[in-house]
Amino acid sequence: MDNTCFRHTDSEAYVSCGRCDRKICPDCMINAPVGFQCPECVANTQVALPKTRFGGSFNTVPKVTRAILITCISIFVLSLLLGSFALAFGMIPAAIAQGEWWRLLTSTLLHGSILHLLFNMYALYWLGPQLERSLGHVRFAALYILSALGGSVASYWFSDLRTVSVGASGAIFGLITATIVIGREMRTDVSQLVVLLGLNVVIGFLQPGIDWRAHFGGAVTGAAIAFIYTKGNRLNRDRIHRAGLAGIFVFLVLATLARNAQVSALIGL
């Protein structure tokens, strides 16, 4: 029997790796839960990271929230230096009907005033990190983007064709309702958020120039996504979440296409 280490052929070995069963010398023996393992097997071992209740990986740095904050603030500063981007990238129904669909998302990165920017970014700074830590980076990013898109699609459907809309408010309302849904699932007190949501709904109707349609679309989309995130267990939640998000995305795409046909007919395209 060959009693030499597979890594150090000049060393005697009487212990086998618990994973690959190759002989290993004392220099290559690494303690394992049961027996010893060789350095190669230890290096190739994938450590299973713990998951949050909603399937995200635990993290302490809200990278997605920071990226959105930096992007929105940077674009606003550029708009002050170079001029407004609203006509080029804002939510304009006629332009979307002509194929400039990206406006549904680019419009959510623009803001009309410093107060508009500060309100949305403060809300994102307040709600984003907690949600991102609960959901993980990917799920949080999906929540934010689809809520923003849901707000834009609702605005596209129900706003005047002459409107030019900008702002991340649809996504922010999505974060508010998502926090409420997830908070209720975790049996935490979300009464303050419910009051805040109600006040903003009332303000949206009373204050001219506020696109309450985008608020409504984002809020409904965010609540629907959060509801999906509360479903499933450790074995099937990823599949359920992916299917639910795909369903919402397909619905928003179909709603956009249907509205395109209406707008095109109205403006004679």
Q: Give the tens place of pLDDT for each residue, 89-99.
A: 999 999 999 99
Radius of gyration of the chain (CA): 26
The CA-CA-CA angle for residues 72, 153, 162, to 5°, reads 85
CA 56, CA 97: separation in Å to the nearest integer? 37
Query: Of 107, 137, 169, 241, which one is the catalytic site residue?
Result: 169
- Looking at the chain, the whole-number percentage of residues with pLDDT higher than 70 is 94
215 noted as active-site residue? yes
| Count of Cβ atoms closer than 10 Å to residue 237 Cβ | 18
Please tell me the CATH code under which domain 63-267 is placed.
1.20.1540.10
pLDDT tops 90 at residue 215: yes
What is the predicted pLDDT for the residue at 25? 86
Cβ-based burial of 249 (10 A; exposed 0-12, middle 13-18, buried ≥19): middle
Q: Residue 2: pLDDT band by 50, 70, 90 thresholds? A: low
Q: What pLDDT, on the 0 to 100 scale, is given for residue 113?
A: 92
Q: Is pLDDT larger for residue 162 or for residue 34?
A: 162
Residue 33 pLDDT level (bands cut at 50, 70, 90) = low
Catalytic position from the list 116, 137, 215, 241 = 215
Domain(s) labelled CATH 1.20.1540.10 in the chain stretch across 63-267
Q: How far is CA 205 from CA 48, 159, 168, 208, 228, in A?
A: 49, 13, 18, 8, 29
CA distance 171 to 154: 12
CA atoms within 13 A on the CB side of 20: 16
| pLDDT tens readout for residues 74-116 | 999 999 999 989 999 999 999 999 999 999 999 999 999 999 9
Neighbours of 110 (CB within 10 A): 25
Please say if 152 is a catalytic residue: no
Q: Given the DSSP bridges, would you call strands 15-16 and 23-24 parallel, antiparallel or unpaired? A: antiparallel
CB atoms closer than 10 angstroms to residue 163: 15
Query: How many CA atoms, within 13 angstroms, populate the side-chain half-sphere of residue 243?
Result: 7
Give how far the C-alpha of residue 60 lies from the chain's centroid of Cα atoms, to the nearest Å: 16
Q: Kindly tell me if the per-residue pLDDT of 46 is higher than 60.
A: no
